[in-house]
């Protein structure tokens, strides 16, 4: 953590006193910490304590009252390697979700370019309220990491879930984030993403609902950790170019297979996140099929090549990760695919899960390997899920 820039956002909850311990942990680990407080945060812990511990004046107002000097949230947002909001009250979480930028903490959040982590702290009823749960889910989908509150006695003396995670736990989450940054430098990873479209004629196709969001999140997560990524993408929305990601656009399963075979030799690993169409029309018509006088039409479909299995056959000691989308007997079916396609790991998601599936911003996965019992993860943003998958993959890599 040495030399890392951390913005520590403190909002107005009783757990604010614990932020001083967290700040000490960051400072001891060699980080530079800038504290940003909401006006209510200052009611719970004094800026003097935090300024003394961090060695920097605390920022809380847009302007310094005596000099009129402007505190630039943009500069702070750019300076931060990570922004940690601890404690995050229900109010601050709500403002982050909706962009109500009426204080320095929320304006800094809106300007932050790197990772943001939030440690909620509130009473059990506030935490359980649908409004808070909805807001937390939106933050997750926006890519913010939520450090879950714990259960125990709360400031109200009620007992339940809502107390801020302990400073040591928040510190560990931030350390884990820094530890994994750039750990894949020098590795090249192939990612397939999105659906494939199989032409019926020049205007119609057989396809599926995949949005490609999971594959894009994986490409982003891998590139953020220093990997060189080859993203073979089926038809999906154009996203902004991601540094470190070379995107190869394809349409059909055959094109996807060819593109993968072209790059597979130079890769150290592959993650098959595409929803490849299993079948394609045998003979796509060269011109538009007209409906005049045609009451019924029969399409003959032929099985497409299995890209994951093809790469699995020739993978040698490279790592290959697949996905399985199942509606029933998830673990059993996914384990079968792991064997049949010669994968090292398979990520199971279920269509019957409300937080998983096509076009969603969240996903809920179970990771299956040969080495360990299936591991279930809670619902998270696809970006966080991508980090979990890459973590599991690197752990497997290190064990081999």
What is the binding site for ligand CTP (CB under 6 A)?
A: 192, 253, 272, 274, 276, 278, 304, 306-308, 322-325, 337, 341
How many residues are there in the chain?
400
The residue (of 79 and 323) whose beta carbon lies closer to ligand CTP is: 323
Q: How far is the CB of 267 from ligand CTP (least distance, A)?
A: 15
Q: How far is the CB of 387 from ligand CTP (least distance, A)?
A: 19
Residue 115 CB neighbours (<10 A): 20
Q: How far is the CB of 335 from ligand CTP (least distance, A)?
A: 12
| Residues annotated catalytic, as ranges | 208
The residue (of 115 and 341) whose beta carbon lies closer to ligand CTP is: 341
* Separation in Å, CA 48 to CA 26, 59, 103, 110, 204: 18, 11, 19, 26, 67
Q: How far is the CB of 312 from ligand CTP (least distance, A)?
A: 9
CA 248 to the chain's CA centroid: 22
Q: How far is the CB of 306 from ligand CTP (least distance, A)?
A: 4
The residue (of 74 and 376) whose beta carbon lies closer to ligand CTP is: 376
The residue (of 117 and 385) whose beta carbon lies closer to ligand CTP is: 385
The residue (of 20 and 273) whose beta carbon lies closer to ligand CTP is: 273
């Amino acid at each position: 953590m040495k030399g890392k820039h951390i913005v520590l956002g403190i909002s107005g909850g009783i757990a604010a006193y614990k932020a001083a311990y967290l700040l000490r942990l960051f400072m001891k680990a060699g980080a530079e910490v800038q504290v940003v407080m909401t006006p209510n945060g200052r009611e719970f812990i004094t800026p003097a304590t935090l300024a003394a511990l961090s060695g920097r004046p605390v920022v809380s107002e847009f302007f310094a009252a005596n000099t009129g000097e402007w505190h630039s949230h943009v500069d702070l947002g750019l300076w931060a390697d990570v922004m940690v909001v601890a404690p995050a009250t229900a109010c601050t979480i709500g403002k982050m979700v909706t962009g109500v930028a009426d204080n320095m903490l929320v304006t800094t959040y809106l300007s932050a370019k790197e990772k943001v982590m939030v440690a909620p702290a509130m009473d059990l009823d506030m935490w359980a309220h649908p409004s808070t749960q909805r807001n937390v889910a939106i933050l997750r989908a926006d890519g913010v990491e939520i450090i879950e509150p714990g259960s125990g006695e709360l400031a109200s003396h009620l007992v339940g879930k809502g107390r801020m995670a302990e400073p040591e736990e928040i510190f560990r989450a931030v350390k884990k984030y820094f530890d994994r940054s750039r750990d894949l430098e020098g590795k090249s990873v192939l990612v397939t993403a999105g659906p494939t479209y199989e032409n019926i004629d020049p205007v119609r196709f057989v396809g599926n609902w995949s949005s490609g969001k999971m594959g894009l999140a994986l490409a982003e997560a891998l590139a953020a950790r220093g990997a060189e990524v080859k993203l073979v993408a089926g038809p999906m929305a154009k996203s902004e170019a991601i540094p470190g990601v070379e995107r190869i656009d394809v349409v059909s399963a055959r094109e996807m297979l060819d593109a993968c075979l072209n790059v597979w030799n130079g890769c150290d690993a592959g993650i098959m996140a595409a929803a490849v169409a299993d079948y394609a029309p045998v003979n796509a018509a060269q011109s538009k099929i007209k409906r005049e006088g045609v009451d019924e039409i029969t399409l003959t479909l032929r099985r497409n090549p299995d890209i994951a299995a093809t790469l699995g056959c020739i993978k040698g000691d490279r790592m290959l990760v697949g996905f399985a989308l199942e509606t029933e007997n998830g673990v059993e079916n996914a384990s079968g695919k792991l064997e049949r396609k010669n994968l090292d790991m398979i990520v199971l998601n279920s269509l019957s899960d409300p937080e998983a599936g096509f076009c969603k911003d969240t996903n809920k996965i179970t990771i299956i390997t040969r080495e360990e019992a299936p591991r279930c993860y809670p619902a998270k943003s696809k970006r966080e899920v991508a980090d979990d998958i890459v973590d599991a993959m690197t752990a497997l890599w290190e064990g081999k």
